[in-house]
Structure 1
Amino acid sequence: MTDFLRQHLEELIPLSEEEFTYIRPHFSVLKKRKHQFLIQEKQPVNHIYLVEQGCVKAYHTDPEGKEYILQFAMEHWWVSDFQAFFKRTEATIEVDCIEDATIWALSYDDMEKVCAALPKFEHFFRKKSNMGYVALQARILSLLNKNAQERYDQFATLYPQLLQRIPKQLIAAYLGVSRETLSRFNTR
């Protein structure tokens, strides 16, 4: 398992054995079952999560019970209620497992400690955050400028592996369409 974390970090920053030995104890590994929560609305958010194995979804449910999926996260993706995590407030979204999952958790305090001790770790998170902002902007523009079929086609092109793993009703909630609309698409 440690190889996964080191490999993931070294995609963006080189680490000496000493640096990785310092970083590793700040993470904890969680084993979660399908439908178990990482984050629940109105609860404190003390961790960000890195998915080693499995798939999770981050979403908001409106008062009528309609689910709006903000993000899926599979292997090598980070997920949390970032607003609540960084602002130290209660969660406004929920994160739960679509599949059984192995998750690496990093607390706010531990992240701050490691970033202060190792500037390259802060560089890692800056790069990850920047990539996340780029993806978020693309998603918002897609929602604003593309019709439902175009959004589906874009999703299928960007994340073909998710099409095989995620139930159609969840893909529909991510795209902002009904399950019936999704079933009418040319779903290659």
Structure 2
Amino acid sequence: MNTFRQHIEKITPVTDEEFEYIFSLFSIKKLRKHQFLVQEDHEVTNDYWVISGLLKAYHINEDGKMHILQFAMEDWWISDYQAYNNKTLATISIDCIEDSELLVISKENKEKLCSEMHTLANFFRKKSNIGYVALQQRILMLLEKNPQERYNRLYQLTPQLLQRLPKTLLAAYLGVSRETLSRLKQP
């Protein structure tokens, strides 16, 4: 799991022994395309790091419209953090756009790891802050930018993601119709 170690070491170095211990607290989960990782109104006890694949976190409103909050591909974290942290039922669903392989850590193991290794507590805090900033930027982008500007920003940040997404999901993420999406130009 060299890529996971590299992921951690972008923020904090770990010894071979420390990494073995860290890795021992994770399990691996494999899901097929369209399978749920998290379902709305279900318990959420795990946090997930994407080894391979592509997932989406979303909510479907009363009118049946899908609102995509986040995509997660290789080297990204995903969960319903409200349910995970507050021990409540999920308010979003997460499913696989592609076959996916994930590292899974339970809340208990994550708390154990953070209490025993303060460098890992710092790692998870920094990852959480990065996620919060990304979500804030996404909200501001949806509120203040036009569809072309939203598309350009997504293209600038993650061009590889755009190539993997079906047009209907990309349109839902940008908050536009498929017809509007077809008129947007790549930067």
Question: Same-fold call, TM > 0.5?
Answer: yes
Q: CA deviation at 1:5?
A: 2.0
Instruction: Find the aligned partners of 2:158 and 2:4 in 1 and give their Cα distance.
Output: 22
Q: CA deviation at 1:181?
A: 0.9
Q: CA deviation at 1:158?
A: 0.9
SS of the residue corresponding to residue 40 of structure 2 reads: coil
Pairing 1:1-188 to 2, within 5 Å after superposition: 2-187=1-186
Q: CA deviation at 1:187?
A: 3.4
SS of the residue corresponding to residue 143 of structure 2 reads: helix
TM-score of the two chains, using structure 1 as the length reference:
0.96
Q: CA deviation at 1:4?
A: 2.5
Identity rate of aligned residues, in percent?
Answer: 56
What stretches of structure 1 move > 3 A for 4+ residues in a row? none
Instruction: Find the aligned partners of 2:45 and 2:138 in 1 and give their Cα distance.
Output: 26
Query: Can you list the C-alpha shifts for 1:75-125, whole angstroms capped at 9, x where unaligned?
Result: 100000010000010000000110011101111000000000000010000
Instruction: Find the aligned partners of 1:174 and 1:49 in 2 and give their Cα distance.
Output: 21
Query: Can you list the C-alpha shifts for 1:47-72, whole angstroms capped at 9, x where unaligned?
Result: 11100111100000112211100000
Instruction: Find the aligned partners of 2:162 and 2:14 in 1 and give their Cα distance.
Output: 34
Aligned amino acid, residue 110 of structure 2: M
Q: CA deviation at 1:24?
A: 1.1
Aligned amino acid, residue 54 of structure 1: G
**Matched residues, number:** 187
Instruction: Find the aligned partners of 2:24 and 2:17 in 1 and give their Cα distance.
Output: 12
The gaps in structure 2 that reach 5 residues or longer are none
**Which piece of structure 1 moves more, 39-48 or 10-19?**
10-19
Instruction: Find the aligned partners of 1:121 and 1:90 in 2 and give their Cα distance.
Output: 27
SS of the residue corresponding to residue 56 of structure 2 reads: strand
Instruction: Find the aligned partners of 1:77 and 1:8 in 2 and give their Cα distance.
Output: 9
SS of the residue corresponding to residue 86 of structure 1 reads: helix
Q: CA deviation at 1:173?
A: 0.5
Instruction: Find the aligned partners of 1:156 and 1:4 in 2 and give their Cα distance.
Output: 24
SS of the residue corresponding to residue 186 of structure 2 reads: coil
Instruction: Find the aligned partners of 1:21 and 1:164 in 2 and give their Cα distance.
Output: 35
